[in-house]
Amino acid sequence: MGPRYALSGLTLDSDSVLDGVARADGETQPGWRLRWLPSRRIESSRVRLLRRPGVPISVMWPEVGAFEIIPRTRTLRCRPAPGAGREMLLSVLLGPVLSHLLLLEGSFPIHASAVEIGGCAAAFFGPPGAGKSTVAAALFLAGHPVITEDLLAVTWHRDEPYAHPSVPEIRLWPGSGRRLLGGAFHRLPRVVPTASKRRIDPAAGWGRFSSRPAPLGRLYELVPARVRRPSIEPLGARDAWRALMRNRYNLWPQSVETQARQLDALARLAGAAPGRRLIVPRAMRDPAHLVPLIRRDLRAGHDD
């Protein structure tokens, strides 16, 4: 048996090493089997999802690879495209493809970052470019462990939602990276060789990544606006549910039954974790200013 990994509440028994993913040596629960196949040209010119009753689910990325999900045997087969870079292959596998496994397990992933503050997780979500990774990085550099930076999986224990750790890294665009890290940003490794995004990972030694689930205590919808200073205002359960629906990680068409379960699950989450609207300047000159604002809001919530 190859190495076993813990990721977003799932375990993966892989026949190949997954760089940067936490091992799950102590886990005994049944996991998904991850099998790597020889490379082959992908017969598709665009990203495609093939799902038919009674047959495996196939997800294809041109120039990256083909991924076959077999729910009956809990097996995931990955076939790289010729010349596909390992970084890009893992990026697709541990993001979009993983989201399909989570849906099959009854977990409905959110496109969000989550940070542990005072023993509880705070989740941050919003439209592309709103600053999910920037907020996570600012809190990370201030000493708060990051749980996940992109894909948030939530499970329930005794009627309380828990946020699960994902890949231990933070991906930053040059603009926000320079504002947070200055010249050190350009010494970080690129996410993929051709990308301008770079990543902070445990090797950087600047902060901690959480390896354990944490109770999800607050939901923050990031709202970019033409304001000078960031602010926080209440977000009702109905509006929080709508925001969560807009920020589902996996937007591929699902069965009617899966869609109904997803609606119910996100409504339950919006009712269990208090919501806030975090209004941020469209061009944050110093993202570190968000840290005391978020800390004060969480303290006020604990005192209520």
**pLDDT recorded at residue 283:** 77
Q: Taking the complete model, does pTM exceed 0.85, yes or no? A: yes
* DSSP per-residue string spanning 162-214: EEEP--S-EEE-HHHHHHHHGGGGGGSPBSSTT-S-EEE-GGG-SS-B--S-E
Both 203 and 85 in one domain: the answer is no
Considering the domain architecture, whether residues 84 and 127 belong to the same structural domain is answered as no
What per-residue confidence (pLDDT) applies to 1?
61
Residues of the domain holding 249: 110-303
- Looking at the structure, tell me whether residues 221 and 79 fall in a common domain: no
Same domain, 87 and 115: no
17 and 136 inside one domain = no
The one-digit pLDDT tens for each residue of the chain (304 residues) are: 678 998 999 999 998 888 888 888 766 567 899 999 999 888 777 788 887 766 788 888 888 999 999 999 999 999 999 988 888 888 889 999 999 999 988 888 999 999 999 999 999 999 988 999 999 999 999 999 999 999 999 999 989 999 999 999 999 999 999 999 999 999 999 988 888 999 999 988 999 999 899 999 999 999 999 998 999 999 999 999 999 999 999 888 778 888 899 999 999 999 999 999 999 998 778 888 999 999 999 988 655 4
d(CA 184, CA 192): 18
Q: Do residues 153 and 100 touch, judged by C-beta distance below 8 A? A: no
Query: Which of 44, 78, 104 is the C-terminal boundary of a domain?
Result: 104
Last residue of a domain, one of 76, 104, 132: 104
Tell me, yes or no, whether 95 and 118 share the same domain. Answer: no
Instruction: Write down which residue in 62, 84, 104 finishes a domain.
Output: 104
CA gap 237, 14 in Å, rounded: 40
266 near 245, Cβ under 8 Å?
yes
